[in-house]
Amino acid sequence: MDKIIIRGGQQLSGSVRISGSKNSALPILAATLLTKECCVIQRVPDLSDVHYMLQILAHLGAEVERASGTVTVQAERVNTVAPYEIVRKMRASVCVLGPLLGREREATVSLPGGCVIGDRPIDLHLRGFAGLGAAVRVHAGNVKVFAPELHGTSISLKGKSGTTVLGTDNVMMAAVLAEGITVIEDAAREPEVVDLANFLQKMGAKIEGAGTSRIVIEGVKELHGAEHEVIPDRIEAGTFLIAGAIAGKAVTVNRVRADHLTAVTDALRDCGSILNGSNGTLSICANGDRKPLDLKTQPYPGFPTDMQAQMCALLSTVAGESSVTETIFPQRFMHVSELKRMGAAIELDGSTARIRGVGGLSGAPVMASDLRASAALVLAGLIADGMTEINRVYHIDRGYEMIDEKLIDLGAQIERVKV
Ligand code: EPZ
């Protein structure tokens, strides 16, 4: 088990290359199960979550090869049971349900367990499968979906906290091989959903409206192999932009889709940073006049919940009163108590963090609890006085490829230590 040690106070400058998107690569890799033919996916980030997905594909019978950022998958034959041992390591494993149901008309996957960021049911996924005509059985910790036939239908994926990203992906992947037309209302509009739809279309699927809240899918008999490059990771890019805002002179992120980050760059401009960008590059520099902010997370194109913790770290150092309201995962504030250990002045009021900016943070031993919370602790450590020691960094390796090396290239004093 590694830990990361950061000596704060270094001014960051330079450029960083953004990796492929974790939240796009995972459902796209699952979608390769929809065909017997070979699929080649490029720009797949080297992350533990990706390893888990490749393990699941191999367990389901697919031939899987990986050569640096390119993954080749051929699922000539598949079995339809994804066991607890693998699924428990990663919730996103649930997105093999749709492809298996679509292709084999049945699938059994262990129900995902609890999650520190909050309640994460899959009722909307199951509602979608039932709408296509599948029977759904939950028994002994497993969910089994099966249907002699799948028929297109109209389904709303609106839940108590809005729509669902992986639910939209899962229903889309089942519907592409269903008989007739499926209309998904209240669909998620995230760029990762669009990237999956683009890959499915390359495989021969008929999909319209991805990126809007209404997706129309005309089922086809079968799909063929395809090649696809995963989009850049907008959350990794956003995290490095905040590193630039919190501890930077001038930081540039390369290989990024600025149009996927508008809510984040708008928020950073509102709290005083200067941002410029074109052709896949975004640069940020602080202009010394930072302003507090009131922020609310929302489904895309709103401010992403996966950037909320990192923003709390930044606003902890911005003079004045800020507030951050979490609407997607109302309890997603595990980072707050650790930031307070570093001297941040944050009070939780229901699903709102009320932040009073302090003059400085101090380094301390802290505990990572989940992927984005650990990113927030790294950002706080960059500006803190003295040494910050982050434990359980396996959380960060789930979603950030070589984060310590990339920060060192920007001038940070950071090292990874084996415990
Ligand atoms: C995806 O999770 C991302 N994960 C999450 O990123 C991200 O936080 C989330 O979308 C929201 O943007 C991947 O793409 C692998 P949801 P997902 O279903 O699809 C409720 C990260 O840090 N809900 O859109 O699982 C749910 O409880 C991760 O990279 C239901 O009620 O999230 C939540 O409140 C963390 N019923 C809301 O909807 C359902 O059936 C949104 O969840 C499904 C979800």
Q: Which pLDDT belongs to residue 161?
A: 85
Compute CA 296 distance to the chain's CA centroid, rounded to the nearest angstrom: 18
Across the range 276-280, mean pLDDT stands at 86
The residues, any chain, with a CB within 8 Å of residue 386's CB and separated by 6 or more, are 7, 8, 362, 363
The three-point CA angle 290-291-296 to 5° equals 125
In the prediction, which pLDDT does 215 show? 98
Task: List the strands of the sheet with 12-17, edge to edge.
Answer: 12-17, 248-254, 281-286, 273-278
pLDDT category, 417, cuts 50, 70, 90? very high
Q: Which atom of ligand 1 is nearest to the CA of 127?
A: 40
306 within ligand 1 shell (Cβ under 6 A): yes
User: In the predicted model, what is the mean pLDDT of residues 155-167?
Assistant: 95
**Measured from the CB, is residue 120 less than 6 Å from ligand 1?**
yes
Q: Answer yes or no: is the C-beta of 372 below 6 A from any ligand 1 atom.
A: yes
Query: Which band of pLDDT confidence, cut at 50, 70 and 90, is reported for residue 115?
Result: confident
- pLDDT, tens only, 309-331: 999 999 999 999 999 999 999 99
Q: Is the pLDDT of residue 152 over 90?
A: yes
Please identify which residue in the block is written with the tokens 């940070």. Answer: 412
CA 114 and chain centroid, separation: 17
Q: Which amino acid is at 58?
A: A
Q: How confident is the model at residue 259 (pLDDT cuts 50, 70, 90)?
A: very high
Q: Helix crossing, 334-341 with 308-315: angle to 10°?
A: 30
Residue 279 has pLDDT above 90, yes or no: no
Report, in angstroms and rounded to the nearest whole number, the Rg of the chain calculated over CA atoms. 21
Q: At what angle do helices 308-315 and 234-247 cross, to 10 degrees?
A: 0
Q: What is the mean pLDDT of residues 391-417?
A: 96
Q: What is the chain's mean pLDDT, rounded?
A: 96
Give the distance (Å) from ligand 1 centre to CA of residue 276. 30
Please report which confidence band the pLDDT of residue 289 belongs to, taking 50, 70 and 90 as the band edges: confident
Cα separation, 419 vs 408, in Å, equals 21
Using CA positions, which residue lies closest to atom 1 of ligand 1? 165
CA dist., res. 306 & res. 328, Å (int):
10
- The DSSP secondary-structure symbol of 307 reads G
CA of 120 to the centre of ligand 1 (A): 7
Nearest ligand 1 atom to the CA of 162 is 38
Q: How do strand 281-286 and strand 248-254 relate by DSSP bridges?
A: antiparallel
Phi-psi map region of 183: left, alpha, beta (phi>0 left; psi -120 to 50 alpha): beta
| Residues 331-348 pLDDT 10s | 999 999 999 999 999 999
What was the pLDDT predicted at 358?
A: 96
Handedness of CA 259, 260, 262, 264 (dihedral sign): negative
The answer to whether the Cα torsion of 84, 89, 90, 93 is positive or negative is negative
Assess whether pLDDT exceeds 90 at residue 269.
yes
Specify whether 285 is catalytic.
Answer: no
Nearest Cα to Cα of residue 222 among 190, 177, 271, 266: 177
Ligand 1 atom at minimum distance from 328 CA: 34
pLDDT beyond 90 at 114: no
Q: How confident is the model at residue 278 (pLDDT cuts 50, 70, 90)?
A: confident
> For residue 225, what pLDDT band results from cuts at 50, 70 and 90?
very high
Q: Is the pTM of this model over 0.85?
A: yes
* Options 38, 39, 95, 115, the catalytic residue: 115
- Residue 304 CA, ligand 1 centroid: distance in Å: 11
Mean pLDDT for the stretch of residues 254-273: 96
Dmax (CA) of the chain? 64
Region of poorest pLDDT, from 84-93, 252-261, 407-416 = 84-93
pLDDT value of residue 376? 98
SS3 69: coil
* Average pLDDT of the residues in 389-393: 95
Quickly list H helices, 248-286: 262-270
- 59-60-63-64 Cα dihedral, nearest 10 degrees: -60
Q: Can you spell out the DSSP letters for 310-339?
A: HHHHHHTTSSSEEEEE-SSSTT--HHHHHH
* pLDDT (tens digit per residue) in 23-75: 999 999 999 999 999 999 999 999 999 999 999 999 999 999 999 899 999 99
pLDDT confidence bin for 89, thresholds 50/70/90? confident
Of all protein residues, the one whose alpha carbon is nearest to atom 26 of ligand 1 is: 120
Beta carbons of 21 and 405 less than 8 angstroms apart: no
Task: Please state the rounded mean pLDDT for residues 221-244.
Answer: 98
- Quick check: CB of 127 below 6 Å from ligand 1? no
**190 is written with which tokens?**
């995230």
Length of the chain, in residues: 419
- Residue 338: other Cβ atoms inside 10 A: 24
Please say whether the beta carbons of 403 and 16 come within 8 A.
no
pLDDT of residue 286: 73
The pLDDT of 402-416, averaged and rounded, is 97
Tokens read off for 337: 């108590």
Distance CA 410, CA 395 (A): 22
Structure tokens at 334: 């595990």
